[in-house]
């Protein structure tokens, strides 16, 4: 399968979904509802989901889809999927509601549990990142220009990107430990999948995620980060995350690093197994 051929259509699908999100973003009322787990869903989530679902079905109707807004598919069905789309129509719904502009559209193609293609779109600027092991990692800038991207090697200054809202206590402990290994440690807060895009671009070195996420939160970013030369790994066994391996779609805690030689074993004692 030549996944290069998917890229132009995927970029168009993401752009259309992003435009639908921005239409809602400009309203006074987002039509916010609570899902079964009490997480919020807005009219923007649902509009983007519909556009992506239809677009991917037209692109290839034989590839099943797993979306945050259509996740009621049993593992007895999913376990037979060797190839499927893993989708977050609006990653960062809480950032969207707070109007801080840090929310994305995420689409990944998973084969045999591994992300082989990922695309992330930032609706507020129309920047788009995509990548996979067979195609490298790329970014379309806000002005429309496209360039290859690459993660960076470790230097004297370590830039750690983190959530604006989750896992602050765990991250603070981790930063204290890292301060003894680097001349300078800086923290950079960001929302949604943008944290991992910063690592793929070489603008940050480490993203520790010691707070729960779902598979659609990481799949696209993992494909891009790995294609850019970095890693996204399980916080305990330091192996790349795999997808659709069990009934639960909740990820283990994980680390994202730009330099594959990052001394991840040094972080072992900072892990926190609680889920708050």
Judge whether 88 is annotated as a binding position: yes
- Separation between Cα atoms, residue 39 and residue 259, nearest integer Å: 34
Q: Is 206 marked as binding a ligand?
A: no
Distance CA 181, CA 177 (A): 8
User: Is residue 93 marked as binding?
Assistant: yes
Is 53 within any annotated ligand binding site? no
Residue 272 marked as a ligand binder: no
Gap between the Cα atoms of 66 and 88, Å rounded: 9
Is 38 annotated for ligand binding? no
- Could you please report the per-residue DSSP string of 75-131? HHHHTT-SEEEEEEEEE-HHHHHTT-S--EEEEEEEETTEEEEEEEEETTTTEEEEE
Does 91 carry a binding-site annotation?
A: yes
Residue partners of 276: CB distance under 8 A and separation at least 6: 166, 167, 211
Contact 44, 25 (CB under 8 A): yes
DSSP string, 11-69: HHHHHHHHHHHHHHHTSS----EE-TTS-EE-HHHHHHHHHHHHHHHHH-TTS-EEETT
Our measurement of the distance from residue 129's CA atom to the centroid of its chain's CA atoms, rounded to an integer in Å, reads: 11
The H-or-E segment that residue 202 falls in is none
> Binding site for Mg(2+), residues?
68, 88, 90-91, 217
Give the annotated binding-site residues for substrate. Answer: 68, 90-93, 217
Which amino acids are annotated as binding site, given as ranges? 68, 88, 90-93, 217
């Amino acid at each position: 399968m030549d996944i290069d051929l998917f890229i132009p259509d995927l970029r168009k699908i993401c752009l259309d979904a992003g435009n639908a999100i921005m239409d809602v973003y400009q309203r006074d009322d987002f039509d916010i509802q609570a899902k079964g787990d009490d997480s919020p869903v807005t009219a923007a989530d649902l509009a983007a989901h519909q556009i992506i679902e239809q677009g991917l079905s037209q692109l290839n109707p034989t590839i099943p889809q797993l979306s945050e807004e259509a996740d009621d598919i049993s593992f007895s069905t999913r376990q037979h999927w060797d190839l499927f789309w893993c989708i977050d129509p609006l990653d960062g719904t809480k950032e969207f509601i707070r109007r801080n502009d840090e929310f994305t559209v995420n689409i990944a193609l998973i084969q045999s549990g591994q992300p082989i293609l990922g695309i992330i779109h930032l609706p507020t600027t129309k920047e788009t990142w995509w990548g996979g092991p067979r195609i490298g990692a790329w970014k379309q800038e806000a002005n429309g220009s496209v360039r290859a991207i690459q993660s960076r090697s470790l230097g004297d200054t370590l830039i750690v990107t983190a959530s604006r809202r989750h896992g602050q206590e765990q991250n603070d402990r981790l930063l204290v430990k890292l301060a003894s290994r680097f001349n300078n440690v800086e923290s950079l807060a960001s929302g949604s999948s943008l944290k991992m895009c910063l690592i793929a671009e070489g603008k940050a070195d480490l993203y520790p995620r010691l707070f729960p996420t779902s598979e659609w939160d990481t799949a696209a970013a993992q494909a891009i980060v790995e294609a850019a030369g970095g890693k996204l790994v399980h916080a305990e066994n330091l192996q790349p995350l795999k997808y659709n391996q069990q009934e639960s779609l909740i990820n283990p805690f994980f680390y994202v690093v730009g330099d594959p030689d990052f001394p991840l074993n040094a972080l072992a004692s900072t892990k926190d197994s609680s889920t708050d």
